[in-house]
Amino acid sequence: MTFQEQIKQGIPSELPSEKIYNSDINHAPKRKEILSRVEKELALRNALRYFDEKHHSVLAKEFSEELKKYGRIYMHRFRPDYKMYARPINEYPGKCEQAKAIMHMIQNNLDYAVAQHPHELITYGGNGAVFQNWAQYLLAMQYLSEMTNDQTLVIYSGHSMGLFPSHKNAPRVVVTNGMMIPNYSKQDDWEKYNALGVTQYGQMTAGSYMYIGPQGIVHGTTITVLNAGRKIAKKGEDLAGKLFLTSGLGGMSGAQPKAGNIAGCITVCAEVNPKITEIRLSQGWIDEKITDLDALVVRVKKAKESKEVISIAYLGNIVEVWEKLDEENVYVDLGSDQTSLHNPWAGGYYPVGISFEEANEMMANKPNLFKDKVQESLRRQAIAINKHTAKGTYFFDYGNAFLLEASRAGADIMAENGLDFKYPSYVQDIMGPMCFDYGFGPFRWVCTSADPSDLEKTDKIACEVLEEIMKNSPKEIQQQMADNIQWIKGAQENKLVVGSQARILYADAEGRMKIAEAFNNAVKRGEMIDPIVLGRDHHDVSGTDSPYRETSNIYDGSQFTADMAIQNVIGDSFRGATWVSIHNGGGVGWGEVINGGFGMVLDGSIEAEKRLKSMLFWDVNNGIARRNWARNKGAIFTAKRAMKAEPKLKITLPNLVDDTLLQNLF
């Protein structure tokens, strides 16, 4: 059967042969046992409803084994045999160009070179799922291959509820991931309802089909490291010879060494998982791997002396590195952590003192003991970090809930007022005030032709547009513009593509709209034959309400509300997005954040031009309006600028209060 026939077939009517468990592939850890006997039966009943009754006796047994072995039913037997990657758009079957573009994006998220646990349909972050099981994948692809330009596919946490009649300007797909009744959004609720097969954790770009490999994050990480460097730099200094210590070589964290190299420092990144370390080494995302702490110290000292730009992976626990460098008096200039603490009890964080294998076994079989070990390790890590910061290290939380979980573990991490943390998050200090408040965020695009020469053309177009805009940009955003132009100029040389032909470029509303318009025109003129997909990370100006991350620099109390993300996705959907998604938990964890995003297909048409202008303008300025109302200086400036550019925009501006008036009133 051809690839196209397999897609059109959906869930096969005859059982495909069983799959052999391949231990060369990086697999998701076993999830903890959480269901009662009755609930396990319910999980099986839920799984079997995808299949004809005649297969139930075979599958019931098989799925019960999967539930026992992995804590989830992935339906491994139904994993397709064809290669999983973003094919050129014309290779997808179907009647609708937009739907084919979405298939391209879905397959990229599951590409073995891209996805963290491809067999478990996890793209990144340990639990960031595209679908819960292979039946859901097959069904969604089948619907996409059937849909017309006046239908919308409705997807609840990976499950295709069906195709519904809509209209040509409506989104082709509406995705919700992990949306829960608020009282059912604790960590164990995810374990339970995910095991039942009724919800999933979509992270940000996993369940919304917008992941573009680690490149997506390299740019943001480069901006963060560069600006962190600027914060600690004495006049005229750059990052040469300075040491950045952090952890994680996973989906997003793996971008740190590359970003460190681009920013020009020495990066040491600890990673406990040998397979992941090997992958990053083979991809050239790290320069060297060291497995011995003493050797690491020697190597770092040498790199400091010669001001080498180098990235070193330490295969082991990050806690050991913080402690060792303190003992050896090696000065750490910048410090962070990117273990997956949004997912602390199921493989996101490996405690110091026990082996990787032992930890995997313990989290599944002795979850309470494992939790104690994680918390003990976090307390130890905090003690070591505190010793470094006392010597002058600038430490920031990388939005992975490190400070949050360390505080919950009782670590010495709270500020004197008992409310705030001792250390800022990267959004509080860097990303929020320097980027998001001015409308800059992780805009991206994908060439659905899968042709690298198209990507090269788009890079050139984007660079020209930014250079033109920069000529008249106000001084407040000149540095941003310069950094982004430098990024796009170096993008080809830095060989950032893993998976689809995609590019990330931080841009504000004006930049995004003008670049998108220029792309649409290029497609119209036939410079590129196939459509371009636009999108962004949820981690942006408007897409995400997350009190410890994206909205951590909102100080009017509204950082604990989620109106902005919900408004954003609703607004995007009726202004022309091709698909929209809204998720619970992306980045910092289930129940901690509401985040959403969009995808938009540019096919060179006049309709696409109208849609991009209307939707991108809203998509950025919704967040600007909210950040401005929270009295953020940069956002007030940007809101006023946006109103000048678009007379139909009327944003409510805040009146600022003289703080002395508030003293002694209560």
Task: By CB under 6 A, name the binding residues for ligand NAD.
Answer: 116, 124-126, 217, 220-221, 247-253, 255, 270-273, 276, 317-318, 338-342, 348-350, 398-400, 539, 587
* Separation of alpha carbons 298 and 292, rounded Å: 10
Considering the complex, what minimum distance in angstroms separates the CB of residue 316 from ligand NAD? 7
Which residue, among 139, 133, 141, has the nearest Cα to 100 in the 3D structure? Answer: 141
Considering the complex, what minimum distance in angstroms separates the CB of residue 317 from ligand NAD? 4
Write out 371-424 in H/E/C secondary structure: HHHHHHHHHHHHHHHHHHHHHCCEECECCCCHHHHHHHCCCCCECCCCCCECCC
Which residue, 144 or 318, is less far from ligand NAD as judged by CB?
A: 318
Considering the complex, what minimum distance in angstroms separates the CB of residue 147 from ligand NAD? 31
* Separation of alpha carbons 131 and 17, rounded Å: 21
Considering the complex, what minimum distance in angstroms separates the CB of residue 131 from ligand NAD? 18
User: If DSSP codes are grouped into helix, strand and coil, which group holds residue 212?
Assistant: coil
Considering the complex, what minimum distance in angstroms separates the CB of residue 548 from ligand NAD? 10
Considering the complex, what minimum distance in angstroms separates the CB of residue 347 from ligand NAD? 7
CA 189 from centre of chain: 22
Considering the complex, what minimum distance in angstroms separates the CB of residue 157 from ligand NAD? 19
Which residue, 2 or 291, is less far from ligand NAD as judged by CB?
A: 291
Instruction: Return the structure tokens found at 263.
Output: 């920013």
Which residue, 290 or 602, is less far from ligand NAD as judged by CB?
A: 290
* Separation of alpha carbons 122 and 138, rounded Å: 16
- Alpha carbons within 13 A on the beta-carbon side of 231: 22
**In Å, what is the CA distance from 351 to each residue of 74, 161, 311, 372, 587?**
27, 40, 24, 9, 20
End-to-end CA, the chain: 76
* Separation of alpha carbons 318 and 311, rounded Å: 15
Which residue, 7 or 249, is less far from ligand NAD as judged by CB?
A: 249
Considering the complex, what minimum distance in angstroms separates the CB of residue 364 from ligand NAD? 16
User: If DSSP codes are grouped into helix, strand and coil, which group holds residue 539?
Assistant: coil
Considering the complex, what minimum distance in angstroms separates the CB of residue 589 from ligand NAD? 8
For residue 539, give every residue at least 6 positions away whose Cβ sits within 8 Å of its Cβ, in sequence order, or none. Answer: 204, 220, 399, 441, 442, 549, 550, 586, 587, 595
Considering the complex, what minimum distance in angstroms separates the CB of residue 90 from ligand NAD? 32
Which residue, 252 or 266, is less far from ligand NAD as judged by CB?
A: 252
Q: How many CB atoms lie within 10 A of CB 392?
A: 10
Considering the complex, what minimum distance in angstroms separates the CB of residue 490 from ligand NAD? 19
Give strand ranges (E) for 224-292: 243-247, 266-271, 288-290
Which residue, 273 or 473, is less far from ligand NAD as judged by CB?
A: 273
Which residue, 523 or 588, is less far from ligand NAD as judged by CB?
A: 588
Considering the complex, what minimum distance in angstroms separates the CB of residue 337 from ligand NAD? 8
Considering the complex, what minimum distance in angstroms separates the CB of residue 229 from ligand NAD? 16
Which residue, 155 or 259, is less far from ligand NAD as judged by CB?
A: 259
CB-closest chain residue to ligand NAD: 250
Considering the complex, what minimum distance in angstroms separates the CB of residue 409 from ligand NAD? 13
Considering the complex, what minimum distance in angstroms separates the CB of residue 403 from ligand NAD? 12
Which residue, 10 or 399, is less far from ligand NAD as judged by CB?
A: 399
Which residue, 77 or 539, is less far from ligand NAD as judged by CB?
A: 539
User: If DSSP codes are grouped into helix, strand and coil, which group holds residue 486?
Assistant: helix
Q: How many CB atoms lie within 10 A of CB 386?
A: 18
* Separation of alpha carbons 114 and 85, rounded Å: 9
Helix axes 318-327, 367-391, angle to 10 degrees: 30
Which residue, 1 or 25, is less far from ligand NAD as judged by CB?
A: 25
Which residue, 67 or 352, is less far from ligand NAD as judged by CB?
A: 352
Which residue, 28 or 564, is less far from ligand NAD as judged by CB?
A: 28
Task: Give the DSSP per-residue string, 296-356.
Answer: HHHHHHHHHHTT--EEEEEES-HHHHHHHHHHTTPPPSEE---S-TTSTTTTS-PPTTS-H
Give buried/exposed letters for 25-54 (b at 16+ CB in 10 A, else e).
ebbbbbbbebbeeeebebbbebbbebbeee
User: If DSSP codes are grouped into helix, strand and coil, which group holds residue 157?
Assistant: coil
Rounded to 5°, the CA angle 556-559-565 comes to 125
Burial (0-12, 13-18, 19+ Cβ within 10 Å), 650: exposed
* Separation of alpha carbons 237 and 211, rounded Å: 35
Considering the complex, what minimum distance in angstroms separates the CB of residue 271 from ligand NAD? 5
User: Strand 310-315 vs strand 266-271: parallel, antiparallel, or unpaired?
Assistant: parallel
For residue 134, give every residue at least 6 positions away whose Cβ sits within 8 Å of its Cβ, in sequence order, or none. Answer: 74, 75, 76, 77, 78, 79, 80, 121
CB 201 within 8 A of CB 187: no
Which residue, 98 or 484, is less far from ligand NAD as judged by CB?
A: 484
Which residue, 34 or 272, is less far from ligand NAD as judged by CB?
A: 272
User: If DSSP codes are grouped into helix, strand and coil, which group holds residue 96?
Assistant: coil
For residue 14, give every residue at least 6 positions away whose Cβ sits within 8 Å of its Cβ, in sequence order, or none. Answer: none
* Separation of alpha carbons 211 and 402, rounded Å: 23
Which residue, 251 or 634, is less far from ligand NAD as judged by CB?
A: 251
Enclosing H/E stretch for 535 = strand 532-536
Considering the complex, what minimum distance in angstroms separates the CB of residue 483 from ligand NAD? 16
